[in-house]
């Protein structure tokens, strides 16, 4: 009997030598099994192994295809570092013209030697009482303000997420996530030996019944959720859906990790933490509000979890720099954070208008307040092939596979980050991508 690994090796060799080319479709598993003289269950394991190696890509309703750029599936998680593309629509950090001047004003008070000396001393995850108060003001929205004594700090938002997952989910545990989720969560779970359980979504976001079904099947240790301007979908859960999710969490006794990193763009909406404060750990950061070069992560935890998450932050080496704490405190006190938030809210409207006009006629889903959009590609394109074509034009975009959880087939879609390039560069990139989408892969083949 043939071992599935040896069959996968044979297919991998065909891909390496060019017998199977990027974009080629593999036969249905039943035909594959007949072709190689193996059982259907073995064929299924071969297809899973090829996907695990990053050699193939499964797409809903279409089949399994050879990846266009299998060499791009490195060990580094997607969307964490600049891609080196001439126009980067993968990373997504909003910048507004007045940003540098405003931030420079906030630094002025730190430049006195005595103040700077204090700002360069070490600090713990609990920060300082005055800083917790200003952090509570910064995080407040929709009539909700966290209790300052429940605020902890991390070096950045990714560290805050890692620390909370570490505190709530043991190795081998189960973390429920939306079927498309933030890639860093995938990377953290893989490193910690945590199983990600995909939870169904619909047009209103996470389906509460999916949480209940998954938990009754095998208990979940926690759920990670992005209720406002979901990355990558730009979807915001309506208040009635948030209320139903909160009710489910309370009834089932499951803690939620609520990622609100983009929620400052919809600051009229209260968080899930306002409805289920005893079950919700809120995480946020300064990177989108301010700038990625000097950032800070926030955790708002229920009282009984504060000590555990504090320990997780310290043991993981994820505590903040005091300089960042002092800077954020001053920017908040001086109204600079609020000014930047308002400017970035206005800029998001401009960017979305550009995307709507230059991608008119395509199936693009977004929110006028968001800095990213989700593009369901034309049927002539597969997301992996489109990403490769965009890269040949010097444009980096994020494929659906970066966000897809587990063995789910990835949608035939890409995420576009609209925040980072200058507006005129963004227009150039959108026009180029629209031109690629109107062609076919065969049109772009070169010898």
168-190 residue pLDDT tens? 999 999 999 999 999 999 999 99
**Residue 235 pLDDT exceeds 90:** yes
> In Å, what is the CA distance from 173 to each residue of 139, 256, 258?
30, 14, 18
Q: Which range, of 45-59, 189-203, 253-267, 426-440, averages the lowest pLDDT?
A: 45-59
Segment 243-255 mean pLDDT: 97
Contact 286, 332 (CB under 8 A): no
Write the DSSP assignment of 104-150 as a string of letters.
Answer: HHHHHGGGSHHHHHHHTS---TT--HHHHHHHHHHH-BTTB---GGG
Tokens 């060990």 identify what position? 75
Confidence grade of residue 38 (pLDDT, cut at 50, 70, 90): very high
Tokens 């990403």 identify what position? 387
Contact 371, 351 (CB under 8 A): yes
Q: Which helix or strand (DSSP H or E) is residue 399 part of?
A: strand 398-399
Write the DSSP assignment of 230-248 as a string of letters.
Answer: -TTT-----HHHHHHHHHH
What tokens were used for 302? 């229920």
Segment 419-445 mean pLDDT: 90
Give the CA angle between residues 202, 204, 206 to the nearest 5°. Answer: 65
DSSP state of 410: B
Contact 162, 281 (CB under 8 A): no
Cis before 415? omega within 30: no
Segment 298-305 mean pLDDT: 97
Q: Which range, of 7-11, 62-66, 400-404, averages the lowest pLDDT?
A: 62-66
- Residue 403 CA to residue 185 CA, distance in Å, equals 9
pLDDT score for 89: 96
**What is the largest distance, in Å, between two alpha-carbon atoms of the chain?**
77
Work out the percent of the chain whose per-residue pLDDT is above 70.
91
pLDDT score for 71: 40
309-342 residue pLDDT tens? 999 999 999 999 888 888 888 889 989 999 999 9
* 37 conformational bin, left if phi > 0, alpha if psi -120 to 50, beta if neither: left
Residue 272's CB is within 10 A of a number of other CB atoms, namely 23
Segment 113-118 mean pLDDT: 69
- Residue 148 CA to residue 136 CA, distance in Å, equals 6
Dihedral sign (CA 384, 389, 392, 394): negative
Name beta bridge partners: 205.
Answer: 202
- Residue 399 CA to residue 411 CA, distance in Å, equals 9
Q: Which helix or strand (DSSP H or E) is residue 216 part of?
A: helix 208-217
Q: Report helix, strand or coil for 153.
A: strand
Q: At what angle do helices 322-333 and 336-358 cross, to 10 degrees?
A: 90
Long-range pairs, 441-447, Cβ under 8 A, ≥24:
441/23, 441/380, 441/381, 441/385, 441/389, 444/389, 444/392
- Residue 391 CA to residue 393 CA, distance in Å, equals 5
Burial class (CB in 10 A: 0-12, 13-18, 19+), 211: buried
**Residue 295 pLDDT exceeds 70:** yes
Question: Which residues, at least 6 apart from 311, have a Cβ–Cβ distance to it below 8 Å?
Answer: 167
336-363 residue pLDDT tens? 999 999 999 999 999 999 999 999 999 9
Q: Given the DSSP bridges, would you call strands 297-300 and 151-154 parallel, antiparallel or unpaired?
A: antiparallel
- Residue 341 CA to residue 267 CA, distance in Å, equals 9
E strands present in 288-341 = 297-300
DSSP state of 80: S
- Residue 260 CA to residue 281 CA, distance in Å, equals 10
Q: Given the DSSP bridges, would you call strands 195-199 and 372-376 parallel, antiparallel or unpaired?
A: unpaired
């Amino acid at each position: 009997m043939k071992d599935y690994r040896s069959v996968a090796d044979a297919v991998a060799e065909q891909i390496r030598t060019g017998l199977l080319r990027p974009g080629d479709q593999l036969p249905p598993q039943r035909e594959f099994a007949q072709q190689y003289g193996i059982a259907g269950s073995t064929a299924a394991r071969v297809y899973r192994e090829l996907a695990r190696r990053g050699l193939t890509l499964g797409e809903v309703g279409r089949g399994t295809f050879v990846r266009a750029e299998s060499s791009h599936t490195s060990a580094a998680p997607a969307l964490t570092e600049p891609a080196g593309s001439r126009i980067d629509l993968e990373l997504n950090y909003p910048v507004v013209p007045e940003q540098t001047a405003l931030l420079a004003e906030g630094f002025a008070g730190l430049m006195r030697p005595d103040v700077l000396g204090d700002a360069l001393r070490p600090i713990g995850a609990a920060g300082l009482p005055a800083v917790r108060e200003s952090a509570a003001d910064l995080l407040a929205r929709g009539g909700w303000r966290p209790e300052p004594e429940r605020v902890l700090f991390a070096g950045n938002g990714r560290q805050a997420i890692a620390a909370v997952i570490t505190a709530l989910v043991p190795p081998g545990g189960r973390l429920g996530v939306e079927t498309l989720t933030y890639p860093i969560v995938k990377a953290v779970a893989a490193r910690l030996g945590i199983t990600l359980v995909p939870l169904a979504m619909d047009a209103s976001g996470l389906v509460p019944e999916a949480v209940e079904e998954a938990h009754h099947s095998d208990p979940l240790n926690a759920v990670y959720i992005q209720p406002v301007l979901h990355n990558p979908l730009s979807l915001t859960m309506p208040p009635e859906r948030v209320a139903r999710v909160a009710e489910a969490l309370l009834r089932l006794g499951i803690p939620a990790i609520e990622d609100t990193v983009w929620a400052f763009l919809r600051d009229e909406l209260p968080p899930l933490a306002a409805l289920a404060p005893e079950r919700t750990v809120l995480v946020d950061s300064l990177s989108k509000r301010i700038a990625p070069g000097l950032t800070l992560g926030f955790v708002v935890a229920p009282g009984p979890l504060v000590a555990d998450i504090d320990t997780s932050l310290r043991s993981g080496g994820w505590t903040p720099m005091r300089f960042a704490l002092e800077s954020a405190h001053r920017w908040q006190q001086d109204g600079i954070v609020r000014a930047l938030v308002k400017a970035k809210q206005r800029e998001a409207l401009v960017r979305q208008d550009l995307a709507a006009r230059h991608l008119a006629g395509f199936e693009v889903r977004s929110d006028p307040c968001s800095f990213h959009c989700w593009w369901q590609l034309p049927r002539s394109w597969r997301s992996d092939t489109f990403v490769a074509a965009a890269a040949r034009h010097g444009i980096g975009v994020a494929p659906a596979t970066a966000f897809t959880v587990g063995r789910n087939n990835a949608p035939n879609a890409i995420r576009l980050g609209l925040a980072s390039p200058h507006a005129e560069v963004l227009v150039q990139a959108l026009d180029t991508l629209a031109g690629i989408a109107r062609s076919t892969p065969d049109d772009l083949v070169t010898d």
